Structure 1
Amino acid sequence: MDAMVYLDNAATTFPKPSVVYDAMDKMNREGAVNAGRGSYKLAQDASRLIAETKDLLRRLIYVDISAAVIFAPSITIAMNQIVNGLRLRNKAVVYLSPYEHNAVARSIYELAKKKGIIVKEIPINSDLEIDLEKMKYEFAKDRPEAVFCTHVSNVTGYILPVKEIFEESKKYNCVNILDSAQSMGLVEIRASLMKVDIIAFTGHKTLYGPLGIGGFINISGVPLDVFISGGTGSDSLNLEMPDGKESRYESSSCNIVAVAGLNAALKDIDPVFCMKREKELSDYLIDKLSSVKEIKMYLPENLKRHVGIVSFVVKGFNSEDIGTILDEDFDIAVRTGYHCAPFIHKYLKDTGTLGTVRVGLGQFSTMDDIDKLVAGMKEIIDA
Structure 2
Amino acid sequence: MNKCIYLDNAATTFPKPEAVYKKMDLVNRTLAVNAGRGSYKLAREATELIDNTKSKLLELINAKRNAYIAFTPSVTIALNQILQGIKYSNSSVVYVSPFEHNAVARTLNLLKKRHGFKLIELPLQSESLEMDLDKMKYMFSKDNPSCVCVTAVSNVTGYILPVKNIFKEAKKYQAITVLDAAQAMGLIPIDFKELEADFIAFAGHKTMYGPFGIGGVIMNKNATLDEVIVGGTGSDSLNLDMPQPYPGKLESASKNIVAVAGLNAALDEIDIDKSFKYEKELTNYLIDKLDKVLEVKLYLPKDRSKHISIVSFTVDRMSSENVGIILDEDFNIAVRTGYHCAPYIHKYLKDKSSLGTVRVGLGRFNNKSDIDEFIKAVNDIIAG
CA distance in 1, matches of 2:271, 2:232: 36
Q: Show the 5 A alignment for 1:1-383.
A: 1-125=1-125, 126-383=127-384
Q: Please give the per-residue CA displacement for 1:291-336, whole angstroms capped at 9, x wherever unaligned.
A: 1000000000100000000000000100000000000000000000
TM-score by length of structure 2 reads 0.99
Tell me how far 1:220 sits from its aligned partner. 4.2
Instruction: Answer yes or no: is the 8 Å Cα contact 1:57–1:266 preserved in 2.
Output: yes
Residue pair 1:177, 1:199 contacting (<8 A) in 2 also: yes
Counterpart Cα distance in 1 of 2:231 and 2:303: 47
SS in 2 for 1:136: helix
Aligned sequence identity (%)? 58
Contact 1:55-1:65 at 8 Å conserved across structures: no
CA–CA separation in structure 2 for the residues paired with 1:84 and 1:102: 14
CA distance in 1, matches of 2:120, 2:94: 6
Report the more deviating stretch, 242-251 or 305-314.
242-251
Contact 1:337/1:354 (<8 A) preserved:
yes
CA deviation string 1:119-160 (max 9, x = no partner)? 100000021100000000000000000000000000000000
Q: Which runs of 5+ in 1 are unaligned?
A: none
Cα distance in structure 2, aligned partners of 1:242 and 1:163? 33
Separation in structure 2 between the aligned mates of residue 220 and residue 27 of structure 1, nearest angstrom: 31
**Runs of 4+ residues deviating >6 angstroms:** none
Structure 2 counterpart SS, 1:172: coil
| Superposition deviation, residue 193 in structure 1 | 1.0
Secondary structure at 2:94's aligned position in 1?
A: strand
Tell me if the contact between 1:87 and 1:223 (Cα under 8 Å) persists in the aligned partners. Answer: no
| Secondary structure of 1:359's aligned partner | strand
- What is the DSSP-based 3-state SS (H/G/I as helix, E as strand, rest coil) of the residue aligned with 1:296? strand
C-alpha distance in structure 2 between counterparts of 1:220 and 1:188, whole Å: 21
Secondary structure of the residue that 1:16 maps to in structure 2? coil
Q: 1:351 is aligned with what amino acid?
A: K
Specify the code of the residue in structure 2 equivalent to 1:68.
Y
C-alpha RMSD of the superposition: 0.7
Letter in 2 for 1:14: F
The 2-side partners of 1:307 and 1:86 are apart by: 31
SS at match of 2:130: coil
**Shift, 1:273, TM fit:** 0.8
Q: Partners of 1:11 and 1:321 in 2: how far apart?
A: 19
Per-residue CA distance 1:339-382 (angstroms, 9 max, x = gap): 00000000000011000000000000110100111000000000
String of CA shifts for 1:152-171, please: whole Å, max 9, x gaps: 00000000000110111110
State the one-letter code of the partner of 2:220. I
What is the number of equivalent residue pairs in this alignment? 383
